[in-house]
């Protein structure tokens, strides 16, 4: 019996938890592990929700910025259009004119060609001005100055620009 007592004591010393308590410890460990997994999934889903809300906010900020830029563009266009009368009045005196087809180029060769054509055109205008100011040219060839009675916007420059662009395309 002494041998059985020692074996019994050795088994009891090895495990202080009764066999029923070992099963409960395993169940409790599994339950805690399950709760940790559920908490991790919950936190992950929460972070996804936060990221989605932030993404929506960023998209709204981008839309707001685009709308502000569009409003600014429309304001600038309105400012320019409100000054068409002034541009028509002072354009010839300042040497302003409508865009020509030569201003829309795609390569350096076209740019050189357009620059040569513009240079020739400016020389012709300078020659016409000097001949009109100096005298011997007939008055029908001399350009008249800006008409003082004109008011409002005339679509002629726009039509000329559209015609030149259509000629390029």
pLDDT at 147: 46
* Model pLDDT for residues 9-63, shown as the tens digit of each residue: 555 555 555 566 677 888 899 999 999 999 999 999 999 999 999 999 999 999 9
Query: Strand runs (DSSP E) across 6-163, as ranges?
Result: none
What's the mean per-residue pLDDT of the chain?
75
Mean predicted confidence (pLDDT) in 152-163: 61
State the pLDDT at residue 124: 86
pLDDT number for residue 146:
45
Confidence of residue 148 (pLDDT cuts 50, 70, 90): very low
Max CA separation in the chain (angstroms): 149
What integer pLDDT is reported at residue 82 of this predicted model?
A: 81
Name the pTM for this structure: 0.34
Nearest Cα residue to 125 out of 136, 156, 88, 117: 117
Cα(8)–Cα(109) distance, integer angstroms: 105
First to last CA, the chain: 114
Q: Please state, in angstroms and rounded to a whole number, the distance separating the CA atoms of residues 56 and 48.
A: 12
Answer whether residue 161 shows pLDDT above 80.
Answer: no
Residue-level pLDDT at 102: 57
Higher pLDDT, 161 or 150: 161
* Angle in degrees, 0-180, between the axes of helices 84-94 and 19-82, rounded to the nearest 10: 60
Identify the pLDDT of residue 10: 55
Of the pLDDT bands very low, low, confident and very high (cuts 50, 70, 90), residue 126 is confident
On whether the CB atoms of residues 141 and 128 are closer than 8 A, the answer is yes
What 3-state class would DSSP assign to 77?
Answer: helix
3-state helix, strand and coil shares in percent for the chain, rounded to the nearest 5: 80, 0, 20
């Amino acid at each position: 019996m002494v041998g059985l007592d020692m074996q019994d004591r050795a088994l009891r010393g090895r495990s202080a938890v009764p066999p029923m308590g070992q099963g409960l410890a395993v169940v409790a460990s599994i339950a805690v592990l399950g709760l940790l997994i559920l908490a991790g999934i919950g936190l992950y889903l929460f972070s996804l929700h936060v990221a989605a809300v932030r993404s929506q906010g960023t998209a709204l900020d981008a839309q707001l910025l685009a709308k502000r830029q569009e409003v600014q563009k429309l304001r600038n266009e309105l400012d320019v259009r409100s000054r068409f009368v002034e541009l028509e009045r002072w354009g010839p005196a300042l040497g302003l004119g409508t865009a020509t087809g030569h201003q829309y180029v795609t390569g350096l060769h076209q740019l050189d060609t357009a620059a040569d054509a513009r240079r020739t055109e400016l020389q012709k205008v300078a020659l016409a001005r000097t001949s009109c100011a100096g005298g011997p040219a007939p008055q029908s060839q001399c350009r008249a100055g800006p008409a003082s009675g004109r008011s409002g916007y005339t679509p002629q420059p726009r039509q000329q620009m559209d015609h030149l662009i259509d000629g390029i395309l």
